[in-house]
Chain A
Amino acid sequence: MREAVLLFLVVVSGTGGEICVTRAMKRVGEVTDFRPMALVRVILSAMKVPWMWIGISMMALAFFALLAVLSIENVSFVVPVTALNYAAGALGGKFFLGERVTLRRWAGVLIVCVGVTLVWLGKR
């Protein structure tokens, strides 16, 4: 039960964080200039978008939850289960970022979910 809660945090908070960072970076605009000074300016303007901070906090939370779950479960169980990120990413991309998710991508997500179910059932 505890590992399920932690894995949920890893997946949902990790993907949620990435979605917030994506939102912030889309507001900053496409990066076309890769000279060091221009990159520093991009980072500074990204730091002014609140979504960036929400995203970084959520990704940090996901990392600590990953550490916690690794203390109670095997890596060969935890890491494959975190592939659920793709399911969360497809849902989040569709509903929070308005991305179109192709049928093929949904099919992939479904296959990932089947695999995670097998891994969960095959544990120990």
Chain B
Amino acid sequence: MTSSPGLHFKTYCMLLIMVVFAPLGNVLLGKGMKNVGSVVSWSPSKLPHIVSLVLTSGYVWLGIASLLTFFIAYMLILSWADFSYVQPASSIALLVVALLGYFYLGERISALHWAGIVVICLGVFVVGNTPPRTTEKAEHA
């Protein structure tokens, strides 16, 4: 990465899009699927009904659109930024999911649950901060 201010601005915009839209997508999928109701029965006869409920849920489609937005931003940023630089952002995304679940969906999260989420974020951060390529030497400087 060069250090031109324009590139930094572009990078931060993409990171912001990723950190907002990935959790938003998951939360919308969650909300949509909660409306569909528990998939209680896995009998093949019920499956078409469940599939039609899922496909007609606006939240599910909004969720898919959010995840696609995230995916495009992710692909774009990976064309100029290192994977190991981008990946720790997904640890922030995990925390955003929990916050959205808590404030927007009203999910109850116990203290132990919060502690687990923070530990997972820490773990993802440590995983992400490691060299992205080990199978052969990188050719570019």
The chain A residues found within 8 Å of chain B, CB to CB, are 34, 66-68, 70-72, 74-80, 83, 86, 90, 97-102, 104-105, 107-124
**25 A-B Cβ contacts within 8 A?**
A67-B33, A67-B54, A70-B29, A71-B36, A71-B37, A71-B39, A72-B39, A75-B97, A75-B105, A77-B113, A80-B116, A90-B127, A102-B130, A102-B131, A104-B130, A105-B130, A112-B123, A115-B116, A115-B123, A118-B116, A122-B110, A122-B113, A122-B114, A123-B110, A123-B113
* Complex contacts, B27 vs chain A, CB 8 Å: 75
The chain B residues found within 8 Å of chain A, CB to CB, are 23, 26-27, 29-30, 33-34, 36-39, 54, 60, 79, 94, 97-98, 100-102, 105, 107-131, 134-135
Flag if A124 contacts B38 (CB, 8 Å): no
* Complex contacts, B37 vs chain A, CB 8 Å: 71
How far apart are the CA atoms of A109 and B125 in the complex, in Å? 10
* Complex contacts, B30 vs chain A, CB 8 Å: 70, 74-75, 78
Q: What is the chain B residue whose CB lies nearest that of A74?
A: B107
Flag if B39 contacts A114 (CB, 8 Å): no
- Tell me the number of A-to-B contacts counted with CB atoms below 8 Å: 143
* Complex contacts, B29 vs chain A, CB 8 Å: 66-67, 70, 75
User: Given A72-B38, A75-B100, A100-B134, is A116 in contact with B120 using a C-beta cutoff of 8 Å?
Assistant: yes
* Complex contacts, A124 vs chain B, CB 8 Å: 108, 110
* Complex contacts, A100 vs chain B, CB 8 Å: 134-135
Q: What is the chain B residue whose CB lies nearest that of A98?
A: B135
Flag if A97 contacts B135 (CB, 8 Å): yes
